[in-house]
Amino acid sequence: FDVYGTLLEVSPAPADAAARWERLWHEHWGVSPRLSLHQFGAACDAVIGREHAAARARGIAWPEVCWPAVVLEVLPELAKLEREAREEFVFQQACLWHTVRMSAAVAEALQALRDRGCLLGLASNAQAYTVRELAEALATHGLGLDLFESELCFWSFEHGFSKPDPHVFQILTTRLAARGIGAEEVLMVGDRLETDIEPARAAGWQTWHLDGTAQTSWAALVDRLRGQRSPSH
C-alpha cells in the first residue's frame, strides 16, 4: 500500500497552525519563533532543493531527504534539545502543514485482508513522522503497525530515494521472492498513477488504482480479492 492519499486522507493545515507554531516554540525554548511558519517552510524548501540537486548529480533520479536533518539545518537551536524533545518538535511541526485521518472503510479493508491471510506491506514516500502518523491513525480503529510485515515496508526516508524509482519496487520484489512470492502475486494499492501504479506494473505487479469511483473503492477491492479474480485496474 501507498500511505498518503491511500491509507491516510490528507487535508490542509489546521486553521490555528500559526498559533500552534508560536506555542511550540514557547514550550521548547520559552520564546517566540524567530521565523514565521512561512519563513521556516521557505528555508526548508531551499535546503531540500539543494539536497535534491546534489543527489541527482550523483545519479539518484528520485531523491529523498532526511527531514530531521533539514529542520536541524534551518533551526540549529534544535541541537540543544534532548533527542526525545527534538523528535517531538519535528513531529508536531509536521502536523502544522497537513492533517491526516484514516477512514473506517480503510481500516475495515485492512483488517479483512489480514484476516484472510494476506501479507500486507507498504511502499511510501515518507519521513519518520509518517510512521507515527500512520500508527496514530490505525490506533483510532484499534489497529497497529503490526498489521504490516516490517520486512515488506519501504519507507523512502530510510533509503534516500523514493517512488517512482524502480529500485523501490525491485527491493520489495526481491524480499517477496525470498518468501516464495512472485511479482505476479503482488498487488500495489495506490492513488497516483505516476508513483504507485505505473512503476508497480513495470515491476510485474498487479495494481489497484484508487481513483475515487465506486468500482475501485476499498469495499470493491476486498470483494474482488475474496472472489480470487485478478484485481488489476
Instruction: Please answer whether residues 168 and 123 qualify as being in contact, where contact means their C-beta atoms are separated by less than 8 angstroms.
Output: yes
In this structure, how many other beta carbons lie within 10 angstroms of the beta carbon of residue 15? 8
Amino acid identity of residue 176, one-letter, is L
Domain ranges for the chain, please list them.
10-94, 103-226
CA distance 77 to 74: 9
pLDDT of the residue at 226: 81
What phi and psi values does residue 84 have, to the nearest 5 degrees? -60, -45
Q: What is the pLDDT of residues 125-178, one digit of tens each?
A: 999 999 999 999 999 999 999 999 999 999 999 999 999 999 999 999 999 999
Residue 208 β-bridge partners: 189
Instruction: Please answer whether residues 163 and 103 qualify as being in contact, where contact means their C-beta atoms are separated by less than 8 angstroms.
Output: no
- Average pLDDT of span 28-45: 98
pLDDT of the residue at 33: 98
Q: How far is CA 85 from each of CA 13, 19, 48, 147, 175, rounded to the nearest angstrom?
A: 22, 19, 23, 28, 35
- Average pLDDT of span 87-104: 97
Report residue 232's pLDDT band, with 50, 70 and 90 as the boundaries: low
User: Among candidates 64, 59, 56, 69, which has minimal Cα distance to 160?
Assistant: 64
User: Over 60: is that where the pLDDT of 65 sits?
Assistant: yes
CA distance 206 to 187: 5
Q: What is the pLDDT of residues 169-203, one digit of tens each?
A: 999 999 999 999 999 999 999 999 999 999 999 99
Range with the poorest average pLDDT among 91-95, 203-207, 217-221, 222-226: 222-226
pLDDT of the residue at 231: 57
Task: State which CATH number among 3.20.20.70, 3.40.30.10, 3.40.50.10800, 3.40.50.1000 fits the domain covering 103-226.
Answer: 3.40.50.1000
User: Among candidates 156, 231, 178, 170, which has minimal Cα distance to 203?
Assistant: 170
- The cell for 229 is 479474480
Residue 189 β-bridge partners: 208
Report residue 227's pLDDT band, with 50, 70 and 90 as the boundaries: confident
pLDDT of the residue at 17: 98
Is the model's pTM score more than 0.75? Answer: yes
Residue 99 β-bridge partners: 11
